Amino acid sequence: MAKGTESPPGQDADSVTKAGGEEHGNVTSEMDDILASWRPHISNPRTLEWRDGWLENGYCRSCRQCCGPQESDVPYPMPLLPSQQGPEAARRFHLLAPDMAYLAGPGCKSATPSGCALPREDRPVACNLFPLALVNGTIQVFMYCPVAWHIPMDRLREIGKGVASWLTDFPPSDLRHLDRRMDPAEASRVYFPLFVSVL
Ligand code: SF4
Ligand code: SF4
């Protein structure tokens, strides 16, 4: 996933956790445990900037939840654009279908100890957006990413609008393919909405 450099756009990490949790509306003891484990490693605000095609995310270098081996074997789908499909795709990704890569237990085939081996244009769109995601036609935020708790909601929404604007340049068929269709109740367990529509 995206890597970035440190700079001070967000708000102080320790002051945002509880207040941010209430704003996002999904405070759980599991989340409190995760936050407690992150705080010693992520004590300063980090960069989060939309770069018109990818998200520069300064939290990744301390977090590193994504890309490598995962605790869950439930596949996280990563739709492939037509230009990313073909013989190379099977070498780069675990595939659910020729047009659908996924991340699960073993981690991604393109993950290396120093990050993703692929140029950004060859990475699934889901990777370049994450922890933002196109879910049920709207921009949502994966709530188990530290970004969800360290970045104020209005800033996340501003970034979400930039992502939405970029996505609407895709042909409608690609956009529908990129959209993750989920049961709303299931989606609300892992994402919170930014109230930014794309489809
Ligand atoms: S969970 Fe968020 S901060 Fe952590 S590696 Fe993934 S995108 Fe980066
Ligand atoms: S392609 Fe694989 S290694 Fe690269 S960012 Fe996506 S999940 Fe991570």
Ordered by start, the domain boundaries in the chain are 1-65+130-199, 67-114
Give the integer Cα–Cα distance in Å for 156 and 169: 21
pTM score of the predicted model = 0.83
> Using an 8 Å Cβ cutoff, are 120 and 53 in contact?
yes
Task: Report how far ligand 2's centroid is from the alpha carbon of 112 (Å).
Answer: 9
Residue nearest atom 1 of ligand 1, based on CA coordinates: 145
| Cβ of residue 123 lying under 6 Å from some atom of ligand 2 | yes
Q: Digits of tens for pLDDT over the chain (199 positions)?
A: 432 222 222 222 322 222 233 344 444 566 666 666 666 666 678 999 999 999 999 999 888 889 999 988 999 999 999 999 999 999 999 999 999 999 999 999 999 999 999 999 999 999 999 999 999 999 999 999 999 988 999 999 999 999 999 999 999 999 999 999 999 999 999 999 999 999 9
Nearest to 143 by CA among 74, 195, 190, 185: 190
| Cβ of residue 35 lying under 6 Å from some atom of ligand 1 | no
Atom of ligand 2 nearest to the CA of 110: 3
Q: CA of 29: how far to CAs of 17, 21, 25, 34, 187, in Å?
A: 13, 11, 13, 9, 19
Q: CA of 70: how far to CAs of 47, 75, 95, 118, 146, in Å?
A: 25, 10, 16, 19, 17
Q: CA of 103: how far to CAs of 48, 58, 66, 89, in Å?
A: 23, 21, 9, 13
Identify which ligand lies nearest to the alpha carbon of 111: 2
